[in-house]
Amino acid sequence: MPSTPLKDLFGVKGYVAVVTGGTSGLGHMICKGLVQNGAIVYVVALPSEPIDECVTELNTLAKAASTEEDDSIGLAIGYACDVSSKANIAQLAAFVTAREHRLDLLVSNAGIRRDSPKACDVLSAPLAELQASIYATSKAATDHLVRLLAAKFSRFYVRVNSINPGFVPSKMNPVGAEGNMFSNLFDKMPAKRAGQEDDIFGAVIYLASRGGSYIDGINLCIDGGRVLLANGQA
């Protein structure tokens, strides 16, 4: 049997995708990778975000990445939405449904820490101090949620997977910025660097494309090996 060409095995051309929190950080990296590889991407962000500027940038990138033989080039479409509002989500669903016959990929990315991180030794910290980190607890809970959702949606063969990034420069986590509390941790990690756009998009394209179509209900660590040494730091 002939093997599938790589561009088809790991291709997202013509995919319809929704990316929440798509104007900054990891969401923006994922939007860039998708439009540059021929996907139609609904860039969802809070109304306060520079959605129009982001969409213009993404469409310029999509055009630049297209070739003459391309019959479809990537496209970004912006949509203002607060994903903590059920009514807003219903409106987003109606907006996409009115334009598309299907959705191939939902990247549920928005979900950030608003309070600033505090240093804490998990081996000696009192319980009250540990409980203050709702962010870390919520991120651990998503691992379980992914399996539950994958089980719930399995009868439709809608796959649910997640990526657990290590340190990736973003608005919420400005690693590399002067005085960042995590900067000295890189020396101790096997990769000895922060995560980059290709690390994140590479994982997304793998899970979303035909190459990953037999993967369901998993949490994939994209962290340069940090979890091997992190010792519980959030």
Ligand X SMILES: NC(=O)c1ccc[n+]([C@@H]2O[C@H](COP(=O)([O-])OP(=O)(O)OC[C@H]3O[C@@H](n4cnc5c(N)ncnc54)[C@H](OP(=O)(O)O)[C@@H]3O)[C@@H](O)[C@H]2O)c1
Q: Are 109 and 27 in contact (CB under 8 A)?
A: yes
Q: Which of 38, 173, 208, 216 binds ligand X (CB under 6 A)?
A: 173
Q: What's the rounded Cα separation, in Å, for the pair 89 and 87?
A: 5
Up-side HSE of residue 57: CA atoms within 13 Å toward CB? 14
Q: Smallest gap, in angstroms, from Cβ of residue 37 to ligand X?
A: 20
Looking at the Cβ atoms of 27 and 38, the one nearer to ligand X is 27
When asked if residue 83 is in the footprint of ligand X (CB under 6 A), the reply is: yes
Q: Smallest gap, in angstroms, from Cβ of residue 194 to ligand X?
A: 8
Q: Hey, how many other C-beta atoms are within 10 angstroms of the C-beta on 194?
A: 21
Looking at the Cβ atoms of 111 and 202, the one nearer to ligand X is 111
Q: Which of 74, 167, 189, 212 binds ligand X (CB under 6 A)?
A: 167
Looking at the Cβ atoms of 38 and 224, the one nearer to ligand X is 224
| Total site size for ligand X, rule CB under 6 A | 25
Query: According to CB under 6 A, which residues from 29 to 58 bind ligand X?
Result: 45-46, 48-49
Please calculate the CA angle 232-183-25 and round it to the nearest 5 degrees.
85
Q: What's the rounded Cα separation, in Å, for the pair 210 and 158?
A: 13
Q: Smallest gap, in angstroms, from Cβ of residue 4 to ligand X?
A: 31
When asked if residue 109 is in the footprint of ligand X (CB under 6 A), the reply is: yes
Q: Which residue is nearest to ligand X (CB)?
A: 25
Site track 209-228 with ligand X (rule: CB under 6 A), x = hit: --------------------
Q: Which of 17, 18, 24, 105 binds ligand X (CB under 6 A)?
A: 24
Q: Which of 16, 18, 25, 207 binds ligand X (CB under 6 A)?
A: 25
Q: Cα separations (Å) of 98 from 67, 91, 169?
A: 29, 11, 35
Q: Which of 63, 99, 144, 171 binds ligand X (CB under 6 A)?
A: 171
Q: Which of 104, 111, 120, 130 binds ligand X (CB under 6 A)?
A: 111
Sign of CA dihedral 148, 149, 150, 154: positive
When asked if residue 196 is in the footprint of ligand X (CB under 6 A), the reply is: no
| Contact positions vs ligand X (CB under 6 A) | 20-21, 23-27, 45-46, 48-49, 82-84, 109-112, 165, 167-168, 170-173
